Structure 1
Amino acid sequence: MYENITLLDYLATRRSVPAFQMCEPGPSGEQLQSILSLAVRVPDHGKLAPWRFIVYRGQKRVDIGEALLEMALSKNPELSEEMIKVERTRFTRAPVVIGVISRAGPHVKIPEWEQVMSAGAVCLNLLMAANAHGFVANWLSEWFAFDEAAHPLLGIEPGEKVAGFIHMGSTTFPIVERPRPALEDVVTWMGEEG
Structure 2
Amino acid sequence: MSTRNDAALDFLLTRRSRPAKTLVAPAPSRAELAPILTAAARTPDHGMLVPWRFIVVEKGAMARMAELTVAAGQRLGKSDEDIAKGRSQFDLGHLAVVVVEVQTPSPKIPAVEQCYAAGGACLSLLNAALAAGWGANWLSGWASHDHDFCKAAFDLQDNERVAGIVHIATEGPRPPERPRPNLDDITTWVSE
Structures share fold, TM-score greater than 0.5? yes
Cα shift at 1:168: 0.7
SS at match of 1:25: coil
Partner of 1:102: 101
TM-score, normalization by structure 1: 0.88
Cα shift at 1:75: 3.5
SS at match of 1:17: coil
Cα shift at 1:160: 0.8
Cα shift at 1:188: 0.4
Amino acid at match of 2:69: L
SS at match of 2:168: strand
Amino acid at match of 2:22: Q
* Kept in 2: contact 1:26–1:94 (CA 8 A): no
Partner of 2:3: none
Distance 2:46 2:92 in 1: 35
Partner of 1:51: 52
Q: In the alignment, is residue 33 of structure 1 matched against residue 34 of structure 2?
A: yes
Structure 1: 5+ residue runs without aligned partners? none
Distance 1:190 1:87 in 2: 43
Structure 1 residues 27 and 185: alpha-carbon distance in aligned structure 2, compared to 1, 3 A threshold: same
SS at match of 2:129: helix
Distance 2:8 2:37 in 1: 19
Cα shift at 1:125: 0.7
Percentage of identical aligned residues: 38
* Kept in 1: contact 2:59–2:93 (CA 8 A): no
Distance 1:78 1:89 in 2: 14
Q: Deviations over 1:27-68 (max 9, x none)?
A: 111011111111101111111101111110022111110121
Which structure shows the bigger proportion of residues in helix conformation? 2
Structure 1 residues 135 and 78: alpha-carbon distance in aligned structure 2, compared to 1, 3 A threshold: closer
* Kept in 2: contact 1:35–1:130 (CA 8 A): yes
SS at match of 1:6: helix
* Kept in 2: contact 1:62–1:89 (CA 8 A): no
Aligned alpha-carbon RMSD (Å): 1.9
SS at match of 1:157: coil
TM-score, normalization by structure 2: 0.88
Distance 1:84 1:106 in 2: 35
Structure 2: 5+ residue runs without aligned partners? 1-5
SS at match of 2:148: coil
